Amino acid sequence: MIALKRPAKAPAILEEKGKEETKKLCSEFDAYGEIKTKIKNDIYGDCSVRETLEEAQKGKCCYCECELKGYGDVEHFRPKGGYKQNKDSNLSKHGYYWLAYFWDNLMLSCQICNQRYKKNLFPLVDDSKRALKHSDDINKEEPLFINPFLEDPKKYISFENAAIIPINDKGKITIKELGLDRDGLEEDRRTILNKIIKWHETMILCLYYPDEDKLLKHAKKLKKDISDAAQNFSEYAGMVQAWLDKNPLPKENVS
């Protein structure tokens, strides 16, 4: 997981149809104390929303950083239809209905993170401070899931090689409940990291022969390849960045 920057301007469909539908949902709740109108996924899941999120997230899942390759779910950070404080609790109805079309609540997630793990989970430090209706203040909540659009995940999680590790309770809960330590994901990260390590070792060996133009040229290419792997557009960049913090690229001879 890496820090992400959300485009300030929301897609037009959210500003227009999304706001209209939000007013209907809020009015309905005020009148009946429940939501009867179906939340429209063709609004929050419109291609303009999906494409804008995909560009902002560099084509990767907002949580696990796997490449989405054109697929993925438009995910609600605060669940729209219902919520659970933990997996063993009953599903509470309504959810954050007033945020169903809210730009700051939308992300793009892989189906495994969203459908197999997160689902309707949204744990808080203090569940008694949960916003239960549109007139409540969500700023009183303290979510236990990391929001990569609002905070730097490096404050909560790190890596030991390909293994993701928590720095604190928020990191621990995020890793566990989103399955960021699942076997297949760790294997994929390890495959990339092993390649990075080989490049790094070869680059260092090439530097022993700085007078050899071919070797120096190869070392420069490897340094660039490693640097690119640590950029936010690369798959599992968070892991690569953590590894390079402990194994920095040489500054001399190779630029």
Provide the whole-model pTM: 0.90
Mention every residue, 6+ apart, whose C-beta is less than 8 A from residue 189. Answer: 162, 164, 236, 239
Interior CA angle at 183 toward 159 and 73, to 5°?
Answer: 90
Mention every residue, 6+ apart, whose C-beta is less than 8 A from residue 28. Answer: 34, 35, 36, 37
Q: Give the whole-angstrom CA distance, residue 157 versus residue 170.
A: 9
Q: Do residues 126 and 225 share a domain? A: no
Cβ contact 255:220 at 8 Å: yes
Q: Do residues 89 and 194 share a domain? A: no
Report pLDDT for 252.
Answer: 59
Q: Give the whole-angstrom CA distance, residue 72 versus residue 107.
A: 10
Work out how many domains the chain is built from and give that number: 2
Report pLDDT for 250.
Answer: 84
Q: Do residues 129 and 196 share a domain? A: no
Q: Give the phi and the psi of residue 105 in degrees, each rounded to 5.
A: -100, 0
156 burial class (0-12, 13-18, 19+ CB within 10 angstroms)? buried
- 78: closest CA among 4, 141, 11, 153? 141
Is 164 inside any structural domain? Answer: no
Q: Do residues 106 and 43 share a domain? A: yes
Q: Do residues 193 and 127 share a domain? A: no
Walk along the chain (255 residues) and give the pLDDT tens digit of each residue. 999 999 999 999 999 999 999 999 999 999 988 888 899 999 999 999 999 999 999 999 999 999 998 889 999 999 999 999 999 999 998 899 999 999 999 999 999 999 999 999 999 999 999 999 999 999 999 999 999 999 999 999 999 999 999 999 999 999 999 999 999 999 999 999 999 999 999 998 888 776 778 888 888 999 999 999 999 999 999 999 999 999 998 875 554
- Among candidate residues 97, 122, 145, the one where a domain is terminated: 145
Cβ contact 225:199 at 8 Å: yes
Q: What is the DSSP letter of 234?
A: S
State both tokens at 145: 């899931």
Q: Give the whole-angstrom CA distance, residue 224 versus residue 241.
A: 14
Supply the range of the domain harboring residue 226. Answer: 183-246
Distance of CA 93 to the CA centre of its chain: 25
Q: Give the whole-angstrom CA distance, residue 134 versus residue 22.
A: 10
Report pLDDT for 251.
Answer: 74
Is 169 inside any structural domain? Answer: no
- Max Cα–Cα distance, the chain, nearest Å: 80
Q: Do residues 23 and 92 share a domain? A: yes
SS3 content of the chain, % helix, strand, coil (to 5): 45, 10, 45
Is 80 inside any structural domain? Answer: yes
Q: Do residues 138 and 189 share a domain? A: no
